[in-house]
Amino acid sequence: MLPEVLKSTIADIGEYYLVRNLPVHELVTQEFIDAFVKKGSCYALTYKTKIDQDNTAALLPNGKLILSVDKDTYEELGLQGRPSQYSGKKVMRYIITIDLTDAGFHPESKKYNRVLWALREKKPLEFDFLLAWYNTGAEGSTLMSYFSKNQIQALKPKITFSTLRDLQCPVLKSNDLQGKPEESCSTEELFEWLGAVLNEVSLDNKSSSFLSTYCCPEPNTVVEKAFLCTITGFIIPEKIIQLLEQLCCYFGEPKLAYWLTLTVHGFADSPVSWREVEHGFHKGGENLYNFVIFRNLDYWLQMAVVAHDDCPP
Amino acid sequence: MGLTPGPPCLAGQLYRRLPPEETGELRLQPQDSEKAKTFVHAFLKRSMPKMKDEAIQDMLTRKAVVLEHYAKKKVKQKRKKTKGFTAKQRRELRLFEIEPEQQRYAIFLPLHELWKQYIRDLCHGLKPDAQPHMIQGKLLKADLHGALVTVTKSKCPSYVGITGIILQEFKHVFKIITKEDKLKVVPKLNNVFSLELDGFISYIYGSKFLLRASERSAKKFKLKGTIDL
Amino acid sequence: MQRQAQKFCALLKSVSCVSLANPGWDSTVSSVFVTWCQTAPSPGPRRVLRRAAEHHYLRVRLELPDGGARPNAAQFKQLVVTALRELHGEVGAALPVDVLTYEEKTLSAILRVISSGLVKLWSALTLLGFYQNRRCAFRVLQTSPFLLALSGNSRELVLD
């Protein structure tokens, strides 16, 4: 029932790499910048580091290296940063931003040497990095060969398919966000319902039930078959856009489905959530968004963040 | 010692030649007045070496001399006020500033060698098996002029990594000359310095070190579990 | 699971937005929920809901010593209510808590509670020490104002 083109897009969601014990200064060397950062979109994120207690780093596709470090590391590192906006009166966390594509950032410049000295000699920081690289042009050297002397492994996103039968689905109207009783469901109700489906929550409870009073929002229809695909890994935005375009094409020919959704979860421990907006971890670090695409190609975009995050754009 | 008082008009009489009958009686050799005058002068001069000639003359021409003994009044020697410069004058004269042509790292290398020798002597040779806390105690009171230090931690990142010889220590700052012949003024507050000598690395928490070098030698430092910047 | 959407904003360039909340930001906001709508020709509205989450969700795991009876779903719910009663009395026990999922094998569950009762529930679970005279402990694995967020936790991403 799933079109082949969609299947192949999912299969081609791209691989990513895990490099163990990679010193951060490897990411700011001229060779790396020339080979990867300037020739495509390079993504890196520290793996198994917690944003609320550990030092964390991320490389954004616009060539900015963001380091989120605790107070003691910051004082030792000797690189200029700014206090984290979620650290309260006594600053315990600092954000250092290094623009690798800046014109003034070349091997002769003072800044380059200072950064390299700080990360290589003063306070050698080492992390396990998740890396991904996307370029449209000719293939140059690959991350795999560049980091061959480090412990690198290529990973494929984990993909699971499942078919849900006789699923209760809320009725949605693309031009009505807030919903009307007896007509359509609101966006919040849909969001909760999505969570319930993904967590395999039973949808047909009675409001008087002892265990749970959750039930599918009204009005709803029973769908005979629903298709659910989950991709887990370090997925880059370019691939998500591809996937989204394919999903829009799905409605190119008449289909029975009224709408479909695409949800993207952000890493809870990433130092940024949207663009360069600082991200923190309070009770949880979720930053996620969800597309609902309707048959007439109208779409909703829902974005959700919790405390210690700025309002999404 | 006293002199027979005589009226000033009798000054001439004082040195008058004694009448022959008197000299005969006393069996003295008579002297003429000029000779007597010089003798009296010489005698007085000899017996009172501290007095000046004029004072003696003065005394001789006095009408009366008190012969009673009186306690010598102790003349309190007025302490001469040390005539230093005021802080303002010092500033104006730039006494504690090092001239730009003198700001060269090489010039101060001998000072550093001297300081190393000084610390080795202070710590009894600085053997590798020496107790670190003993060295700490000594260094705490030691003079740091000439030490080679590095800023290892700082609240202000741009101070981190400055390495050089301490030229001057003030209450709140160190003046450090770096290898690049730059004179840096580094505040002690919120900075941690490290100094390395013969394999021993000591850290100086500048925030606890806000004293002049002279005051520090007398200060008692308290042990604390942990120190933050 | 994806790190961030750098570019998806470009997709939305044509969307004009109406922000319903006031633009000031305050750090106590516990959740934000933004919805955009794009209808083909007409500009879409934008709804920003702050502190709007009606419910909070907790993913918990019960730790019991090996052996002995494991609670079934109803007993599990009863245990949660007991915990609430112990710490917060009858008023606490009346707090509506839903056990959305419960897996007897792993003793893990997803609970739903009204946002204002989150602290009560959390504290009650933490301070519970016994189940049927056996030592036990609740581990709160994840908490979120969005149920959807519980389906993907990047902290549990294991790669090898």
Residues 239-298 of A with CB under 8 A from C: 240-241, 244, 263-270, 272-275, 282-290, 296-298
Are the Cβ atoms of A62 and C27 closer than 8 angstroms?
Answer: no
With beta carbons under 8 A apart, name residues in chain C contacting A237.
2, 4-8
Percent of chain A with pLDDT over 90: 21
Each domain of chain C, given as residue ranges in start order, spans 2-39, 55-146
Is it the case that residue B9 has pLDDT exceeding 70? Answer: no
Q: How far apart are CA A56 and CA A48, in angstroms?
A: 9
Q: How far apart are CA A47 and CA A19, in angstroms?
A: 9
A34-57: pLDDT as tens digits: 888 888 888 999 998 998 889 999
A215-271: pLDDT as tens digits: 888 788 888 888 888 888 888 888 888 888 888 888 877 777 788 888 888 898 888
pLDDT for B218 equals 83
pLDDT for C4 equals 33
Residues 81-140 of A with CB under 8 A from C: 86
Give the gap in angstroms from C-alpha A283 to the nearest C-alpha of chain B.
Answer: 28
B133-162: pLDDT as tens digits: 888 888 888 888 999 999 999 999 999 999
Higher-pLDDT residue of A297, B13: A297
Q: How far apart are CA A237 and CA A239, in angstroms?
A: 5
With beta carbons under 8 A apart, name residues in chain A contacting B154.
75, 78
Q: How far apart are CA C106 and CA C109, in angstroms?
A: 9
Residue recorded with tokens 């002397």? A149
Is it the case that residue A188 has pLDDT exceeding 90? Answer: no
pLDDT for C44 equals 63
Q: Among A66, A68, A286, pick the best mutation site for testing chain C contact (most C Cβ within 10 A).
A: A286
Give the gap in angstroms from C-alpha B151 to the nearest C-alpha of chain A.
Answer: 9
**Could you tell me the two tokens for B200?**
């021993």
pLDDT for C138 equals 92
Is it the case that residue C21 has pLDDT exceeding 70? Answer: no
Higher-pLDDT residue of A156, C66: A156
Domain made up of C55-146: CATH architecture: 2-Layer Sandwich (3.30)
- CA geometry: angle at A205 spanning A202 and A207, to 5°? 145
**Interstrand relation of A259-265 and B163-169 (parallel, antiparallel or unpaired):** unpaired
Contact flag for A and B (3+ C-beta pairs < 8 Å): yes
Each domain of chain A, given as residue ranges in start order, spans 14-155, 158-305
Q: Which residue of A has its CA nearest to B162?
A: A78
**Stretch A181-201: mean pLDDT, rounded?**
85
Are the Cβ atoms of A188 and C148 closer than 8 angstroms?
Answer: no
Provide ipTM, 2 decimals.
0.84
Percent of chain A with pLDDT over 70: 97
Can you give the three-state secondary structure of chain A, one letter per residue?
Answer: CCCHHHHHHHHCCCCEEEEEEEEHHHHCCHHHHHHCHHHCEEEEEECCCCCCCCCEEEECCCCEEEEEEEHHHHHHHCCCCEECCCCCCCCCEEEEEEECCCCCCCCCCHHHHHHHHHHHHHCCCEEEEEEEEECCCCCCCCHHHHCCCCEEEEECCEEEEEEEEEEEEECCCCCCCCCECCCECCHHHHHHHHHHHHCCCCCECCCCCCCCCCECCCCEEEEEEEEEEEEECCECHHHHHHHHHHHHHHCCCCCCCCEEEEEEECCCCCCECCCCCEECCCCCCCEEEEEEEECCCCEEEEEEEECCECCCC
Nearest to A6 by CA among A284, A244, A278, A273: A244
With beta carbons under 8 A apart, name residues in chain A contacting B194.
none
The answer to whether C72 and C104 have CB atoms below 8 angstroms apart is yes
Is it the case that residue B226 has pLDDT exceeding 80? Answer: no
Are the Cβ atoms of B157 and A81 closer than 8 angstroms?
Answer: yes
Higher-pLDDT residue of A174, C123: C123
- For chain A, the C-alpha Rg in angstroms (whole number) is 23
C22-81: pLDDT as tens digits: 222 333 344 566 665 554 444 466 777 776 678 899 999 999 887 778 888 899 999 999
**Could you tell me the two tokens for A253?**
């020919």
Q: Among C29, C56, C57, C146, pick the best mutation site for testing chain A contact (most A Cβ within 10 A).
A: C146
Is it the case that residue B11 has pLDDT exceeding 70? Answer: no
Q: How far apart are CA C70 and CA B5, in angstroms?
A: 134
Read off the DSSP letter of residue B50.
T
Q: Which residue of A has its CA nearest to B191?
A: A75
Is it the case that residue B86 has pLDDT exceeding 90? Answer: no
Q: How far apart are CA A172 and CA A260, in angstroms?
A: 11
**Could you tell me the two tokens for C148?**
């959807």
State whether residue A289 is helix, strand or coil. strand
Q: How far apart are CA A188 and CA C147, in angstroms?
A: 11
- For chain B, the C-alpha Rg in angstroms (whole number) is 37
**Could you tell me the two tokens for C82?**
């007991």
pLDDT for C66 equals 79
Is it the case that residue A1 has pLDDT exceeding 70? Answer: no
Are the Cβ atoms of B153 and A76 closer than 8 angstroms?
Answer: yes
Q: How far apart are CA A62 and CA A84, in angstroms?
A: 21
The answer to whether C72 and C142 have CB atoms below 8 angstroms apart is no
pTM of the model: 0.75
